[in-house]
Amino acid sequence: MKEALPVATPVTAVPHGTAQSRSRYWLVPVARAAVAAVAAIVITFSQNHSAGLGLTVFGAFAVLTGLVILAGSRSLTADGVAHHVFVAQAILTLAAGGVALAFAASASLPVFFAAVLIWALLTGALELYSGFRMRGRSPLARDWMTIGVVTVLLAVAFLVVPQGLDQQFTGPDGVERSLTASIVAVGVFGAYAAIVAVLLVIGGFSLKWGTDPSGRVAPETESQS
């Protein structure tokens, strides 16, 4: 009898530069997480949730986030569409941050609402599109879709909060207080920043350690071992 020849195990081809790009890209979500965490901390420990504070914190958050995304987009050059989408996202974020900082001194509540709402709607949709486009092909897709959804929900929250809100109430200590639109809006943005910081840092380190958030080894990492 003829000896059976061993069957060759098929090797899945990995696009050139994909694994290398992933090994660098984990720094991008971690850096974004750090920026978001600082914004959340500043808002949480500030007693004055005015429109001026909101514009200042959001403006700084957006400028720094835009720079991080712009720098990180260079790691996505293997996929031209993703690269261009994230460059567009970075430019929109930088523009929103610049507008917010320009109006921070005037403490304009309508500008704060408009800047956050438009930024969240456009950039959230872009990040969500990137995630849907890459789903099943990249471990980055799930994180992009998650952050995209959360960012779009931020826009929805800003649509729901009435800008004329000014409700008086008595606290448990008997002191008269007021709940205004700026307090609610700044608080909502702070909560968004905190949530995004947690999601991004988990996604970033999962990417670095070669696992997705469910604990499975990512395909690109397996191909390197």
148-205 residue pLDDT tens: 999 999 999 999 998 877 666 555 655 566 778 899 999 999 999 999 999 999 998 8
Q: Is 178 helix (H, G, I), strand (E, B) or coil?
A: strand
Q: Tell me the pLDDT band of 36, cut-offs 50, 70 and 90.
A: very high
CB 204 within 8 A of CB 28: yes
d(Cα 54, Cα 130) in Å, to the nearest integer?
Answer: 28
Average of per-residue pLDDT values in the chain: 82
Q: Is the dihedral of CA 134, 24, 83, 143 positive or negative?
A: positive
The per-residue pLDDT for 78 is: 63
Structure tokens at 44: 């949480």
- The yes-or-no verdict on residue 48 having pLDDT over 90 is no
Residue with the bigger pLDDT between 66 and 73: it is 66
pLDDT digit string, tens, across residues 185-199: 999 999 999 999 999
* Counts for the chain of helices (H) and strands (E), in that order: 8, 2
Residue with the bigger pLDDT between 15 and 21: it is 21
DSSP at 183 = H
For residue 145, give the nearest of 130, 165, 123, 160 by alpha carbon.
130
DSSP for 38-70, please give it.
HHHHHHHT-S---HHHHHHHHHHHHHHHHHHHH
CB 172 within 8 A of CB 166: no
The per-residue pLDDT for 69 is: 94
The per-residue pLDDT for 67 is: 97
Lowest mean pLDDT among 37-41, 53-57, 71-75, 210-214: 210-214
Write down the pTM of the prediction.
0.81
pLDDT digit string, tens, across residues 101-145: 999 999 899 999 999 999 999 999 999 999 998 887 777 888 999
The per-residue pLDDT for 206 is: 84
Q: Tell me the pLDDT band of 223, cut-offs 50, 70 and 90.
A: very low
- The yes-or-no verdict on residue 57 having pLDDT over 90 is yes
d(Cα 35, Cα 20) in Å, to the nearest integer?
Answer: 25
The one-letter amino acid code at 39 reads A
